């Protein structure tokens, strides 16, 4: 190619699958990187409703020192055993810290035993361990107040995950209806109907309500689990979401009201002109000019349905037709 030749411009964005391949990340790692804000995405302008990654963003990440190892380490997520080893504490203490809400998960999945496995950003675990104010939580006896909460059954892992995921959805929201849909994603249908009473607004809101993350098949155990974890459980959490949803829907209503069917007047059918009634079929018989019966091959045979029996002559005509013998007999009147 000569110096004056201009090549065809490349695409300004690509799908998330292609971006993950070019960045050397698995799809789960890519999704975690997006939720953590390590990779920026943009809406799909083609109307598909998905997300895309701009070419400039891919070039920025690939230009970082130590790529791709540094990027993969920044988006690395670990489970309980690996996280405890990273923090140099027993797995039981790690679980207690997570249940108390001090370690916030970023992802979850269902293992083969149908148990929930929580994943935590390794970068955040290292930061928690290095903080001086957390030293008493990593060694020694757990404080009495925290032990009481654990004995009462406190488990904030799902709630903290919802809070992190809500923040991620709100950062991606483009408008008021998008923000309202993000809030509605964490409420049960009954709570949504109680807050948004207009059926047309609820139908419009559902268009912006994101589904739980993951690619679980509809109706599968993983899908039911994702829906249960996605829905707020505590009363104070539910009430806060309801209040924010009512406020955000009010803002969205003022900016862009939900579409509703327009009342169309009933179309009146025009009075059609009276249609002429066709004449009934009838047979017209022309009279014979000479008084003779026309010869026709279609004439009904004698005795047929069209034949009329001739009545016997009576009176004077019958007497005259009998001939000379009639003169010798008296005429019957």
Residue range 4-24, pLDDT digits in tens: 444 444 569 999 999 999 999
Report pLDDT for 267: 62
What pTM does this model have?
0.74
Q: Is pLDDT of 94 > 80?
A: yes
Q: Among 48-62, 125-139, 278-292, which stretch is predicted with the lowest mean pLDDT?
A: 278-292
Report pLDDT for 44: 86
Determine the average pLDDT of the residues in 30-42.
94
Tell me whether the omega of the peptide bond preceding residue 68 falls within 30 degrees of 0, making it cis. Answer: yes
Report pLDDT for 252: 96
Beta bridge partner(s), residue 13 = 54
Determine the average pLDDT of the residues in 125-138.
95
Q: Is pLDDT of 295 > 90?
A: no
Estimate to the nearest angstrom the gap between the alpha carbon of 81 and the chain centroid. Answer: 38
Q: Per-residue pLDDT tens for 247-272?
A: 999 999 999 999 988 766 666 666 55
Report pLDDT for 324: 55
Average pLDDT, the chain: 83
More confident residue, 323 or 215: 215
DSSP for residue 101: T
Contact yes or no for 207/182 (Cβ under 8 A): no
Report pLDDT for 3: 42
Among residues 123, 246, 233, 126, which one has the least CA distance to residue 188?
233
How does strand 116-121 pair with strand 42-43?
A: unpaired
């Amino acid at each position: 190619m000569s110096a004056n030749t201009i090549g065809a411009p490349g695409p300004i964005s690509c799908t998330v699958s292609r971006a993950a391949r070019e960045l050397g990340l698995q799809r789960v790692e890519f999704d975690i990187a997006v939720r953590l804000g390590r990779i920026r995405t943009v809406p799909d302008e083609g109307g598909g409703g998905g997300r895309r990654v701009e070419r400039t963003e891919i070039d920025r990440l690939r230009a970082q020192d130590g790529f791709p190892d540094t990027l993969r380490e920044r988006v690395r997520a670990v489970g309980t055993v690996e996280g405890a080893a990273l923090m140099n504490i027993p797995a039981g203490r790690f679980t207690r810290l997570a249940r108390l809400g001090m370690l916030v998960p970023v992802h979850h999945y269902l293992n083969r035993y149908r148990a929930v496995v929580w994943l935590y950003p390794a970068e955040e675990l290292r930061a928690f361990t290095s903080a001086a104010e957390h030293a008493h939580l990593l060694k020694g006896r757990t404080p009495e107040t925290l032990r009481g909460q654990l004995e009462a059954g406190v488990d904030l892992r799902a709630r903290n995950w919802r809070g992190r995921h809500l923040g991620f959805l709100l950062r991606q929201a483009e408008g008021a209806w998008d923000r309202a849909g993000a809030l509605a994603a964490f409420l049960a249908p009954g709570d949504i109907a109680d807050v948004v009473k207009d059926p047309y607004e609820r139908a419009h809101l559902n268009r912006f309500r994101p589904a739980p993350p993951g690619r679980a098949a509809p109706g599968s155990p993983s899908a039911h689990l994702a829906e249960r974890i996605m829905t707020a459980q505590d009363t104070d959490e539910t009430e806060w979401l309801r209040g924010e949803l009512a406020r955000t829907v009010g803002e969205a209503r003022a900016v862009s009201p939900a579409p509703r069917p327009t009342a169309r007047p009933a179309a009146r059918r025009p009075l059609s002109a009276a249609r002429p009634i066709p004449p009934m079929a009838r047979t017209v018989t022309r009279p014979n000019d000479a008084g003779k019966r026309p010869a026709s091959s279609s004439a009904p045979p004698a005795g047929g349905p069209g034949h009329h029996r001739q009545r016997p002559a009576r009176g004077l005509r019958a007497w005259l037709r009998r001939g000379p013998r009639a003169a010798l007999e008296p005429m019957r009147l």
